[in-house]
């Protein structure tokens, strides 16, 4: 596995999960398979009581260990990332993100919570040893619309930022090159003066 999508919302249907799903879909368009880890599905007692040897916690930590790229999504509550995500990150080893590229995503009720990405989540990701933390994507609730049949739609501005972030992941972290430009051999280069 090379990409792990971590859903840090306590709700099954959340805007942050929709944002995360869109990143996964964009990666799939480039034939990149991403696994999803929904923290809310882990054993709550094991998380809250810091049972490091619980099978759910062990499996989730292994998923993080095997990933090259981590995309973590969270709702923002009271200017901080979700408690579910906090409990999970606290159970990871100090070097859990060492050598990994991380893309943080967040959703919140208003633009005023945007800085939670930089002032609340980023320091924890750095403390876990992330090699590179990309510029996060923050979307307000109004920019992520749930559809009655499931799934959701992103505001064009947010969708554009997702596209840019995925392109950065592809080129910088996953070494996937744009196929629209074929490599040119040095002998074929012509110089005109």
Residue at 88 is within a domain: yes
Residue 14 lies in a domain: yes
Dig out the tokens for 114 from the structure. Answer: 């945007």
Nearest to 38 by CA among 69, 59, 54, 53: 59
Query: Is the residue at 193 inside a domain?
Result: no
Query: What is the average pLDDT across 44-64?
Result: 95
pLDDT one-digit tens code per residue, 97-135: 999 999 999 999 988 888 898 999 999 999 999 999 999
Question: Is residue 54 situated within a structural domain?
Answer: yes
Q: pTM value?
A: 0.89
Looking at the structure of the chain, the number of domains it has is 1
Q: Exposed, middle or buried, 49 (CB in 10 Å: 0-12/13-18/19+)?
A: exposed
Containing 18, the helix (H) or strand (E) segment is helix 15-29
Distance of alpha carbon 81 from alpha carbon 108, whole angstroms = 10
CB atoms within 10 A of CB 56: 16
Mean pLDDT, to the nearest integer, of 138-156? 91
Its domain, for residue 169, covers 3-188
Tell whether the model's pLDDT for residue 28 goes beyond 70: yes
Check which CATH number belongs to the domain holding 50 and give it.
3.40.50.360
């Amino acid at each position: 596995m090379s990409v792990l999508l971590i859903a840090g919302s306590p709700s099954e249907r959340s805007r942050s999960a929709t944002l995360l799903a869109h990143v996964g879909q964009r990666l799939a368009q480039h034939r990149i398979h991403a696994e999803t880890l929904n923290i809310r599905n882990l054993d709550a007692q094991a998380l809250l009581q810091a049972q490091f040897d619980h099978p759910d916690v062990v499996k989730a930590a292994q998923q993080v260990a095997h990933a090259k790229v981590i995309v973590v999504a969270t709702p923002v509550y009271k200017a901080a990332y979700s408690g579910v995500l906090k409990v999970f990150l606290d159970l990871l080893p100090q070097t859990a993100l060492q050598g990994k590229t991380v893309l943080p995503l967040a959703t919140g009720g208003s633009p005023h919570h945007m800085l939670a990405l930089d002032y609340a989540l980023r320091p924890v990701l750095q403390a876990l040893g992330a090699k590179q933390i990309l510029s996060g994507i923050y979307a307000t609730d109004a920019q992520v619309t749930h559809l009655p049949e499931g799934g959701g739609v992103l505001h064009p501005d947010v969708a554009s930022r997702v596209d840019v972030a995925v392109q950065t992941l592809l080129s910088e972290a996953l070494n996937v090159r744009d196929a629209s430009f074929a490599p040119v051999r040095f002998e074929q280069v012509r110089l005109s003066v």
